[in-house]
A = this chain, B = another copy of it.
Amino acid sequence: MTRMPYKIYLSEEEIPKKWYNLQADLGDRLTPFIHPATGKPCTKGDLTPIFCEGVVDQELNRTDQYIEIPEGIQSYYQMYRPSPLIRAYELEKKLGTPAKIYYKFEGMNTSGSHKLNSAAAQVYYAKEQGITKVTTETGAGQWGTALAMACAHYGIDLQVFMVRTSFEQKPYRKAVMETYGANVIPSPSDTTQVGRKILIDHPGTGGSLGCAISEALEVALNTENCRYVLGSVLNHVLLHQSIIGMETKAAMDQYGIEPDIMIGCAGGGSNLGGFIAPFMGERLQGKNAIRFIAVEPASCPTLTRGKFTLDFGDTGRMTPLIKMYTLGNGFIPSPTHSGGLRYHGMNPILSELRHGGELEARSYEQSEVFEAAVYFAQVEGILPAPESAHAIKAAIDEAILAREEGQEKTIAFALSGTGYFDLSAYESYQRGEMIDQETTVEVLEEGFQTIPTIE
């Protein structure tokens, strides 16, 4: 048999034409969204003023294991997908491990991450419904960039509320979004009621993701033919991201690869959830015994130190209540360079899987994550996003363990994106200026106080 290539690219015709819906496997294990005013499960009608109909149907779909990808999305996927499944030959050699290491790399499109997979779908459904404008928030800017690209493709207006500190620290991210035609506003802004209130209560604040979500929601609710779109956390986002796992599975099947361990970083959960979706589905059906590992920053330890309970998705408390692992909607993580992993909550599916024991979780300090990132860049050639480097760190640890135990494990991890826009973080690491700030029990307690008490 010939040596497996470094990279497996499916042909464009082999790109899967269906998403995998983990909700169908979990069924009643999942708690529905709860309307905070009534305490009752949210109906489709509660959600459609905010989200496009197409994605609301998906959000509430607990029956269909596979959902057809519309042709208008398939053709866009064909422009920038498939993403390669890469065999980390060099890393294996360098580590001297008997483990086989694979990674699915989503950074080969201009947005630099997997975010485009859901941006494409959400904007497509908006267009189908006759929506002319969407709003969103962005922190580090990867989601905003992906959405700007998708909006340029489908011809939809986009207003992005960008967390003010990022807006000021990452002018280039703003420039990319504007190149793709987006209107980018620093949040909190004086263009919304909630923004003005925050500016009065906290003059000079750098903003937060939760606050930017509230502003984007307000604009969507008060503008004709406008809806809100979100880059992570929700189940329909996870569904769209399952294209990652579906491709991974198709590629692995071609080469008879059966992973023992699958690893991904987890902020809102969309990359990890999408990557493992069909594999986790099989495990829930008793067809495999894969270990699934979520990796998060020690500064925002949602799955490792959070509570599994009902909480709001945003600081402004405008979303439904979501049953998930949470640190409290008012939780303030210590500063970290992994902006994409600084969310207080976690996707409900992954939360349930963690609760049920099917998903393991661990956390790392950022300095050890950057150590792994630099090592990986030098050995494998790809400069990873700090978020993705959490998965790298865990994969390396598992590969070293396999070496110590003399076990020929197959490890697969999700490399969600590139670090081209995170070089100030790399610089700070190289200068030895990176600080690991402990998340104390006091900080956690403070966050937990913002979890609402439900009767």
Contacts and interface: CB of A to CB of B under 8 A. Distances in A.
A451 interface: no
A176 B423 contact: yes
A314 B171 CA distance: 35
Given A78-B5, A90-B79, A110 B179 contact: no
| Most chain B C-beta atoms within 10 Å of own C-beta, residue among A2, A176, A418 | A176
Given A9-B9, A79-B381, A171-B427, 18 more contacts: A5-B13, A6-B12, A6-B78, A7-B12, A110-B377, A110-B381, A110-B382, A110-B418, A152-B377, A152-B378, A153-B381, A171-B423, A171-B424, A172-B424, A175-B427, A178-B426, A179-B378, A179-B423
A453 interface: no
Determine the interface band of chain A, counting residues with CB < 8 A from chain B. 35 or more
A421 interface: yes
Nearest to A151: B378
Interface string A416-437: 0010110110110010000000
A424 B175 contact: yes
B374 A179 contact: yes
Given A78-B6, A79-B90, A175-B430, A181 B423 contact: no
A321 B5 CA distance: 44
A88 to B, nearest CB: 10
B79 A6 contact: yes
A341 interface: no
Contacts of A448: none
| Most chain B C-beta atoms within 10 Å of own C-beta, residue among A13, A78, A381, A421 | A381
A108 interface: yes
Interface string A113-152: 0000000000000000000000000000000000001001
Contacts of A420: 112, 172, 420-421
B6 A179 contact: no
Nearest to A148: B378
Question: Closest 7 interchain pairs by CB?
Answer: A172-B423, A5-B12, A175-B423, A152-B378, A175-B427, A110-B383, A420-B420
Contacts of A383: 110, 176, 179
A11 interface: yes
A109 interface: yes
Contacts of A175: 423-424, 426-427, 430
Contacts of A66: none
Interface string A66-96: 0000000000001110000000001000000
B90 A181 contact: no
A364 interface: no
Interface in A1-56: 2, 5-7, 9, 11-13
Interface in A381-437: 381-383, 418, 420-421, 423-424, 426-427, 430
A374 B427 CA distance: 30
B377 A178 contact: no
Nearest to A178: B430
A242 B171 CA distance: 37
Contacts of A430: 175, 178-179
7 contacts: A5-B13, A6-B78, A80-B381, A110-B382, A175-B426, A178-B426, A179-B378
Nearest to A429: B179
A401 to B, nearest CB: 26
A336 B410 CA distance: 50
A181 B423 CA distance: 14
A71 to B, nearest CB: 13
Contacts of A7: 12
A110 B380 CA distance: 10
A13 B380 CA distance: 20
A384 to B, nearest CB: 9
A80 B107 CA distance: 13
Interface string A234-251: 000000000000000000
A80 B176 CA distance: 25
Contacts of A79: 6, 90, 380-381
Nearest to A86: B79
A176 B423 CA distance: 7
A6 B79 CA distance: 6
